[in-house]
Structure 1
Amino acid sequence: VVPAVPDLFVSVARQCLASGKKRKCLSMCECRSLAAQIQAVDLGLKPALLYDLNSAEPSQIQHYLRCLQAAGRVSKALHLLVMDGNVIIINLDVCILSLEELLRQNTVVLMDVSWGNAQPATADFRLSGMEASVRGVLDSLRTLMSDDPLICVVDTQTCASWNLCSLFGILLGYPAVYWFDLIHNAENCLGMVPLQVIRVTACWEAVARGNRCCLYSFSIPEELVSETQSALDTWCNRLRAQFSQQSAFSELAISTDRVCLPHVAL
């Protein structure tokens, strides 16, 4: 007897992803949330997902993906990209196309929030060093084969000078990402700066009555809203078009909230 979809996702995650000395398992909520995110990546609604639920090893996450594929719950061979100990689950085809488009058309707005700034400002993609970093990641991704969930590990020395905060935002598919000057200070100037937080949610149909999950969440300083609006509008329109071509999720909602915090960790 094949388990019901939510139960299967929970059992597979608990079997594959337990971590720590006591082999602590993920909660049912974490298992289902992860499964929803994985399916969104598989469908191309998200190019990638940063795995941050626990300290599971890349080999464990790879085994988890293989089990989902064997059960017919994901249709593509997803891959793992490992940078500086961080594991990112990627849709290889979508990621490569996205990075290639970025290099051709500069589709992502880079927001400079370096510590010494009086206020956030936009940054030049090439002069910031991000163009070289993106090319480096793209070269690594092109070494993967699309018919097996292989693990791509970027050498620590290679990515030591990369701004991983910005790279992760780009890989995760955000239309605007934060950047700061790594040479002078890893802190940022976002303390008490009004931010617009954009959240994208949808109902995951694998769970009875639908389970609303967050597909995206990122922020933009209000100071830069006008400069990022065109990129954000294009991103939203593309997401809506992609959403209309699938049935695993329903009731797409894009909302905006305003926050102002004494300290913002990136």
Structure 2
Amino acid sequence: MGEYSERALGFPAFQPRRRARGRFARTWWGNAWVEGVEEDALDKAPVKRGRAYAYAGHVGPITLSAGRISATVYDDHSSHATTVGVERFDPAQWRRLVAEIASRSGYLAALLERDLPEDLADDASAAGVFLVPGMGDLEPECSCGEIEHPCRHAAALCFQVAWLLDEDPFLLLLLRGRDEDDILDRVHRYASGSGDDGVDDAGGAAPDDAAVGAPARAAYAATIPALPGVLRPEPTPAPVGAELPAPPVAAVDVDTLRDLVHRSGERAREYLSA
């Protein structure tokens, strides 16, 4: 497999929509994308106009591929070739993302059900991998020649991409460089016990020290060594209330015992009469 996916997807143009109150997109991923676009903007005015263009259906069919979005965007009397570049992850970032997904069985199960969990964005960010583009991750270009970053045409294109992410958040992974099948394949290889996703920085086989942590499957499959030596149990003390053997009884001289009792009685009477 190459470093980046060669897949390109085409989507028909959106029909005009009525403006909705509140958030622009319907899902968490779509709105997170919108927040990233607005954060990256140097001027809010063209972004606001771009939002209006998106609602008005001024964007033609959209083509989306690794690191690139493109479409023709229309004004009232002209059209403009518009593209938005998206920063792609490098191999080290992909390795960390794959390790994060493989370390949690819930993430892998969700991906197999074609669900991209929202929590993955936070956990990936903690590992230094930011799924949602932010400041500096987007590079708009447009034939309109306007100097805004982004211009209203590029902003309109970005806003409509949020609607695409509402339907399929996995498109965000493709924009970052790899498609859904590629990610699942790498996660399976990592989780199978090999400890890597099969690709190093140069696109070849990953070295052994590229592994991050230990896969859970390998840890559970490991044989536990025997303990050194034999542990002998301590003797168990007799429980409270148990019958103990009676001590041996020595023989007693009866005559001597009677004499001692008599003497003791005589001495007691002497003390009392004194």
- Same fold flag (TM > 0.5): no
The structure in which a higher percent of residues are helix is: 2
* TM-score, scaled to structure 1: 0.22
The structure in which a higher percent of residues are strand is: 1
Greater radius of gyration (CA): 2
